[in-house]
Structure 1
């Protein structure tokens, strides 16, 4: 079966990233590996992945290898300075579920938006009474280099299509 709209896709891959600065591109470095012990599954056409990533997988079959680069502007884009904000440290108190160890520079804080959806912010700097947070996607500003294998391609179930995500052993819910 070929990868197409409304199929469930399971991948193994290594993701490397590189960044261009002053016309000089950094050597790609590895940031994530999904192997046969922990493959990555998603519902094709309904993922939060960059559209270019799905376009480059379209039509590939189970067992096929892939290797491609998703350039920064077709991946997560450039840094949005408006998503870098100062917030009072008092918002991250113990009664709100935070502890001091979580508030270290470089850590990612697990947060929720006003609609209850999970999100994260990276702590850039401790400013005393405030902390400087970056709400940009962690891979913003990078070219994404994918190399891997298509482990599985199958038709999505009606439940998966209705819910917009994969169910079962590799998805959001256990088999019902």
Structure 2
């Protein structure tokens, strides 16, 4: 039976819940290349090491181990006159340096914009099952990583 190790292509079902037990992601299929390629959270990758098809997993990811802590510098108060007229809560706006801001609140003269990941600051419970495990040759891994950069 093939086990998860470096240069293995892994397909799994994952469920993410917040610390209140609310489901955030429900049985989403995730495919990644195992072996420190930063395609999934390092703690999750570590937990999956040496598992095989049919194995299940469960772990807690702190905000720092998942989508990060809330960075107050990514929350800004912007005058409405500097924003599009059709602004609404939940609207995505392109900011400087490729940042994407979400309109969180609209007041009389300004809006609150937030560029933190929507799951920043949240402790997550990740659980799931391994669906496929396939060991790849070094050549195939190099090709996959080259494609990923483009």
TM-score range, shorter chain: 0.7 to 0.9
Structure 1 residue 85 displacement after superposition: 1.3
Change beyond 3 A, Cα 1:142–1:108? farther
Which residue of 48, 51, 63 corresponds with 2:54? 63
Corresponding residue pairs, total: 144
User: Contact (CA 8 Å) 1:16, 1:145: kept in 2 or not?
Assistant: yes
Structure 2, unaligned stretches of length 5 or more?
Answer: none
2:146 counterpart (162, 171, 175): 162
- Which among 43, 51, 55 is matched to residue 33 of structure 2? 43
CA shift, 1:2, in A, is: 2.0
TM-score by length of 2: 0.76
Give the alignment of 1:9-158 within 5 angstroms. 9-18=10-19, 27-35=20-28, 39-44=29-34, 45-89=36-80, 93=84, 100=86, 103-105=87-89, 107=90, 109=92, 111=94, 114=97, 120-128=100-108, 130-156=110-136, 157=140, 158=142
Deviations 1:5-62 (A, max 9, x none): 33222111211011xxxxxxxx321111135xxx111223223532212111122112
Q: Could you say if the C-alpha distance between residues 88 and 59 of structure 1 is closer, same or farther in structure 2, counting changes exceeding 3 Å?
A: farther
- Stretches of structure 1 that go unaligned for 5 or more consecutive residues are 19-26, 94-98, 166-171
The CA RMSD measured in Å over matched residues stands at 2.8
- Which 4+ stretches in 1 moved above 6 angstroms? none
Structure 1 residue 74, shift from structure 2 partner = 2.1
Checking the alignment, whether the CA contact within 8 Å between 2:93 and 2:102 is kept in structure 1 is: no
